[in-house]
Amino acid sequence: MSSEHTARFTLDPAFAVSPVDERIFGSFVEHLGRCVYSGVYEPGHPSADEAGLRTDVMDLVREMGVTVVRYPGGNFVSGFKWEDSVGPRDERPRRLDLAWRSTESNRFGLSEFIDFVRKVGSTPMMAVNLGTRGVAEAIELQEYANHPAGTALSDLRVAHGDTDPFDIRLWCLGNEMDGPWQTGHKTAEEYGRIAAETARAMRQIDPDVELVACGSSNQGMETFARWEATVLEHSYDLVDHVSLHAYYYETEGDRDSFLASAVDTESFIENVVSTADHVGARLKSKKKINLSFDEWNVWYQDGSSPQLSDEGRGEDWAEAPRLLEDNYSVTDAVVVGSLLIALLRHADRVKVACQAQLVNVIAPIATVPGGPAWRQTIYYPFAQASKYGRGTVLDVRPQGPTHETARYGEVDLLHATAVRDDETGAVTVFAVNRDQRRALDLEVALAGLGLARGEVVEHSVLSDADADARNTADDPDRVTPHAGTGTTLEDGTLKATLEPLSWNVIRLA
């Protein structure tokens, strides 16, 4: 197999990055477009349960392995009045949603969300509104959601039919407050103060809540790094994580740069870690701030991606209009796999991550109102990473061929990581070949892993002769993973061939 087009690395249990926090396999449900209505919630659908939740969608969410779900936004949360989303459905008010110029019916609210995450075996991540509201409303929501009983707000929850507390442990202190598009946008000083005040009050109710401060909306923001530094100077001892958001899409004629998007993801993570640790050093704190990458995905913000439907977005102030329904290609799926690799490679500091979003809106799951649900191409890398990426991440430092990209300069053709199961010792290699035209040979030396007499359990490949192939309602299984060929494990060395432009999962036992 040895050739000039070969990438190599060594795996050794003595060189580990970190155990994986399973919450990096999270997702995101926002009141945006059809994510909620005709996505997770559609009373009257043939598959709907007694609560109006689509069981066909919930089956796919369970199969996907989603561990945490962020809610209710996103930009939506900065105009959200949590009180509108509780109590009898027919008494809940209809409101204008300024973020997405839609009308919100509030027929799906806090109780329905908690019911959903419990049924799919996930945990909630709740965002509080620090755009148009503040400290008082945040702690009132916390009391309503989490206090057992015996106070006005906890008793109100019980009266609404939820006897047991929701037990929400993970909270976002607002959303993208650095963004001028955000309702209630603030300067770093303004946000840092209100984040600290809110965190302090929430910890007075429960010292053990886990809190996420808003970081920059993306690495390209003019205030990037200064924003994180200022916010953390106010809140360092009061929060646990700082957030990161990043979206990528292919610009015409530059697929090589798109396939290397994770270069930006990894630099973003490393730059935020450096900024947070600098603040910690200045404050002489032994505490480490971790990262919550709670929005990430491929999103064609220029509108160039095919959409799931040609019905269009509808008029302003419509209820649950079709918005941001990107139909993903094989190429998009390979990039999503690479972004998952980037998160795993930084498991020492990235403890929470949420692919945005879960259903219909830039999502791995798509639905037809009254009709079927199906897996988009990007579903498969996430589901496989969540299933096999539990354990300890091993340090992977590839050596091999590179190529030049317009956006990121010289990049490795191989992007890879590996995770070792802490109980069985089994190892899974996740690998992307960024070369659009040529297969890439892979050789992995397995030092001290006890796999000299091991075997290749599976080599799963997501690729296609048509890199623009997509799954649709009419052809939901056009793109699925297939078995790789010729993969061997002999004398402690794994050898495989990675197809051009491919996502690969190689399982060793």
Degrees (nearest 5) of the Cα angle 297, 76, 208? 80
Q: How far apart are CA 272 and CA 117, in angstroms?
A: 30
- Residue 189 annotated among the catalytic residues of the structure: no
The amino acid at residue 277 is D
- Residue 295 annotated among the catalytic residues of the structure: yes
Q: How far apart are CA 123 and CA 113, in angstroms?
A: 10
Instruction: Give the long-range contacts of residues 84-91, CB within 8 A, separation 24 or more.
Output: 84/109, 85/109, 85/110, 86/110, 86/111, 86/144, 86/156, 86/157, 86/160, 87/160, 88/160
Q: How far apart are CA 485 and CA 269, in angstroms?
A: 35
**Catalytic site residue from 210, 295, 325, 499:** 295
The amino acid at residue 237 is D
Which is nearest to 114 in space by CA: 144, 137, 92? 144
CB 328 within 8 A of CB 366: no
CB 446 within 8 A of CB 492: yes
User: At how many degrees (to 10) do helices 135-146 and 188-205 cross?
Assistant: 30
**Catalytic site residue from 42, 83, 143, 176:** 176
**3-class DSSP state of 460:** strand
DSSP 136-173: HHHHHHHHHHH--SSSHHHHHHHHTT--S-----EEEE
E-only strand ranges, 299-380: 318-319, 350-356, 365-367, 373-375
Q: How far apart are CA 460 and CA 453, in angstroms?
A: 21
Any idea which residues carry the catalytic annotation?
Answer: 176, 295
